[in-house]
Amino acid sequence: MVSLPLTLMGARGRTSRSILAGAGVALVALGTAVAWVEMGRAGELRRSRAARNRQLVGLGTRMGSAWARHRARRLFASAERRDELDLEFQLTTAEQVTEELGHMKGAMMKIGQMASYLDTGLPDHVRAALSQLQQDAPPMAPDLVDEMIRSELGAVPADLFDQWDPVPLASASIGQVHRAVTREGQAVAVKVQYPGVAEAIAADLGNADLIFGALSSMFPGLDTDAVIVELRERLTEELDYDIEAENQRGFAARFRGHPVIHVPEVIGDYCTARVLTTELVVGTRFEEVVETWSAAERNLAAETLYRFAFGSIYRLQAFNGDPHPGNYLFHGDGRVSFLDFGLVKRFTDAETDQFGRLIETMVLEHDPAAFREIIEGLALLDPGLDASDDEVVAYFRHFYEFVLHKGVTTISPEYAAEGVKKIFDTSGPHAQIQKAANVPPSFVVLQRINLGLISLFADLGATADWRAIAEELWPFVHRAPVSDIGHRIEHWRQQSDLVPEPQGL
């Protein structure tokens, strides 16, 4: 099991369209929990570990019973009727899973969100049902919102704001967002944390030892204790909106006036540890971009996502670690607003230097021995592994494939799906390396690139000269701009008060 933050990978294979894909929706959600117990959020919900486990067991039992009934109905049906029954079962199953995970919130809802855009064969109609969890999950009751606002800000929304929309703009896994207008006349987005979220997260992570124990049996090289510690630390930070506000202020200051990257300003007078208020942003959602925008516009959007994610790692020594579709709003011509800064991983100089050395030895110098020495030093791979340097590079080179070569490349669904197989499918020729690989703490949150961001690029059909753009961002190359966006950024940088670098971001 491995994570490499310096290239791209993900999952969006359109492989099997069989009934097994539809029947396995619940298993996809639960299986993702085994692979990635990362975040959790809650509303008016069951908070104890036992109660939440009972919810999952109940869901699994209902899905199993429904599958048995479906198989019986299918047994004597014609081929045409079987197709109809299969479609009906897939839709019903997906809707039931979506509803249950949406009400649970917590880590389980995050799993459903990930399943909606991280798949290797779910039918489109099943993904569409799960995608409701990205922004349109079941909301809190209005009286709960009023009580949370009153307890945090001293008055109910109607008394605090000139205008308040009780219908949430978005309902996600840690809280929900409402439109409002301040007494000063500013349109704002108010994020209100679900009551009981901390308890729900604690309950969901109560199974972490068991879950990661199962993972360690599959991947003996994985240091599960270190992974669990890192996840708990990041989760604790994400629950504190004061920390998120500070993160967002930092990113907003860095990108204020930027030609394609926009981070909403924080409105501090309306913020606490459980309420976060920012300027309101209106834009196009990711699914509409995928479905209706031209290839040229999609490519510009993808380039901005790429520059933000990877440029932040190299230039700001930080990564905003929740790259799911609901956290972006698109405005055309490459302009993107970035939302949700609750999970930000920061890196030391030594860590980013090592990230750079990985790129240099794999991409620029083609030095297998040096590359292996670095990944062993980073605890990504057991030094005692009985494999040649060339075998190690043959496994890892997939994650660098689209920047290994100069010229225009498309990040395809097939490429993205292959990346997930490289992590989890140990039936291939590199099983020995996969089982010996590790995810050290500095790489844990960066798995969201591997298990998220690149899935979005695949959906967009992202096409560009990624090597050239990467060389703009890599501080050890510092290439001049090659794309229109790159030239716009360079012009802005020269006209602003920024010091000569960072470039390309």
DSSP string, 454-474: HHHHHHHT-EE-HHHHHHHH-
Using CA atoms, how far apart are residues 33 and 53, in angstroms rounded to an integer?
13
Model confidence at 240, pLDDT cuts 50, 70, 90, reads very high
CA 34, 38, 43, 47 torsion-angle sign: positive
- Asked whether the beta carbons of 11 and 455 are under 8 A apart, the reply is yes
168-186 average pLDDT score:
90
Model confidence at 18, pLDDT cuts 50, 70, 90, reads very low
Whether 13 shows a pLDDT value over 80: the answer reads: no
| DSSP H stretches of helix in 76-166 | 79-104, 106-117, 124-130, 142-153, 157-160
Look at residue 194 in the predicted model and tell me its pLDDT.
85
Using CA atoms, how far apart are residues 46 and 365, in angstroms rounded to an integer?
54
Residues 6+ apart with CB under 8 A from 271: 241, 242, 245, 277
Q: Where are the domains of the chain?
A: 19-134
Q: At what angle do helices 106-117 and 79-104 cross, to 10 degrees?
A: 140
Greater pLDDT, 158 or 3: 158
What amino acid positions are annotated as catalytic residues?
322
The verdict on whether omega for the bond into residue 157 sits within 30 degrees of 0, i.e. cis, is no
Using CA atoms, how far apart are residues 309 and 117, in angstroms rounded to an integer?
18
- Asked whether the beta carbons of 490 and 481 are under 8 A apart, the reply is yes
Look at residue 83 in the predicted model and tell me its pLDDT.
65
Look at residue 62 in the predicted model and tell me its pLDDT.
53
Length of the chain: 505
Question: What b/e string do you get for 30-65 counting C-beta neighbours within 10 Å, with b at 16 or more?
Answer: bebbebbbbbbbbbebbbebeebeebbeebeeebee
Share of the chain above pLDDT 90, in %: 48
Using CA atoms, how far apart are residues 67 and 27, in angstroms rounded to an integer?
12
The amino acid at residue 493 is R
Model confidence at 49, pLDDT cuts 50, 70, 90, reads very low
Greater pLDDT, 232 or 77: 232
Using CA atoms, how far apart are residues 392 and 222, in angstroms rounded to an integer?
17
What is the average pLDDT value for the chain, to the nearest integer? 78
The pTM (predicted TM-score) of the whole model is 0.76
Q: What digits encode the pLDDT tens for the residues 374-410? A: 999 999 999 999 999 999 999 999 989 989 999 999 9
Q: How far is CA 446 from CA 38, 194, 318, 320, in A?
A: 12, 26, 10, 9
The amino acid at residue 60 is G
Q: What digits encode the pLDDT tens for the residues 434-489? A: 999 998 988 888 877 767 888 899 999 999 999 999 999 999 998 999 999 999 99
